[in-house]
A and B are shown apart, each in its own frame.
Chain A
Amino acid sequence: MATFRIPPVLRTHTNEQVQVTASGSTLGSALEDLFTSFPALRERMIDEDGSLRRFVNVYVDDEDVRTQQGLDTKLDDRSSVIVLPAMAGGAA
């Protein structure tokens, strides 16, 4: 089971749990497993095209998955996944 660290903004969708586990050999399949337990998370993390949302950062073992294989990034039982909403905005 991979471990997922859930940021404050998404904890309303994980019964306030900071850390949850999910199984899957890739990030995408582990997320599917996670969405089975916490369906409201899907919309917050995945866009209409089935890709990771632009302003959600996901790290597998401290490496941004956008610099790895995205949702196809491989996971094993010891993988640790961190989810961080982007810090962005602007005057316009």
Chain B
Amino acid sequence: MVTEPLGRTTATRFDVSPELWEQLVTLARAEKPKECCGVGIGPVGEVARFHALENVHEEPITRYEISSKDQLRVHLEAEDNGWDVTLVFHSHPATEPYPSATDLALAGWPDAVYAIIGMADPDQPLLRAYRIVDAVITELDVRHP
């Protein structure tokens, strides 16, 4: 069991593999008009595995929330591998992929990449990624297929 922090990443880029890109876009399209959500886990700064998770918020058109059960399951899986949560993903079905005031207020994972996909035009998904630490946003340079 890990008892030391895994360390902070200072990466300014978010490289999206073709497989991950496919997973994110497929999920966002399938859930629209609802917000979709998912979590990536892996070694520091890397998404080794992505889990599409159910949005359990009662207003899923404009909000998302991952269930506490799913969160625990993914957390334990990461821990078993000596990994951490490296990606928190959700969609904005009709608006710009920029963190909302709600996103900022609830961003509790400073070591993870917060990625948002804008689906206003489902044929032109817009993926943006950020690090959010103490409600301060740093936009990352996203590279995807």
Please report the number of residue pairs spanning A and B whose Cβ atoms sit closer than 8 angstroms: 95
A49 to chain B, nearest CB (A): 19
Residues of A within 8 A of B109 (CB): 7-9, 85, 87
Residues of B within 8 A of A64 (CB): 68-69, 72
Query: Given the complex of chains A and B, what is the CA–CA distance between A90 and B34 in angstroms?
Result: 10
Contact in complex: A18, B4 (CB < 8 Å): yes
Q: Is the pair A18, B2 in contact by a Cβ cutoff of 8 Å? A: yes
Assess A87 versus B88: contact at CB under 8 Å? Given A8-B109, A11-B5, A18-B3: yes
> Which of A23-31, A33-41, A55-63, A71-79 contacts its partner?
A55-63
Q: In this complex, what residue of A is CB-closest to B95?
A: A91
CB-defined contacts of B92 to chain A, threshold 8 Å: 91
Flag if A8 contacts B75 (CB, 8 Å): no
Q: Are B71 and A92 in contact (CB under 8 A)?
A: no
Q: Does A43 contact B (CB under 8 A)?
A: no
CB-CB under 8 A from B102, the residues of chain A are: 88-92
B69: chain A residues within 8 A (beta carbon)? 64
Binds A, one of B17-25, B59-67, B137-145: B59-67
Contacts of A66 in B (CB 8 A): 68
Q: How far is the CB of A69 from chain B (nearest CB, A)?
A: 16
User: Given contacts A8-B109, A9-B108, A64-B69, is CB(A90)–CB(B63) below 8 Å?
Assistant: yes
CB nearest neighbor in A for B97: A91
Instruction: Report if A1 contacts B (CB, 8 A).
Output: no
21 A–B pairs (Cβ distance < 8 Å), ordered by A: A7-B109, A9-B109, A9-B110, A11-B5, A19-B3, A55-B106, A64-B68, A64-B69, A82-B72, A86-B65, A87-B71, A87-B109, A88-B57, A88-B63, A89-B90, A89-B103, A90-B57, A91-B94, A91-B95, A92-B59, A92-B63
Please name the 5 residue pairs, one residue from A and one from B, whose CB atoms are nearest each other, closest first.
Answer: A85-B108, A90-B63, A92-B62, A89-B103, A88-B65
**B residues lining the A interface (CB < 8 Å):** 1-5, 35, 37, 39, 57, 59, 62-66, 68-69, 71-72, 75-76, 84, 88, 90, 92-95, 99-100, 102-103, 105-111
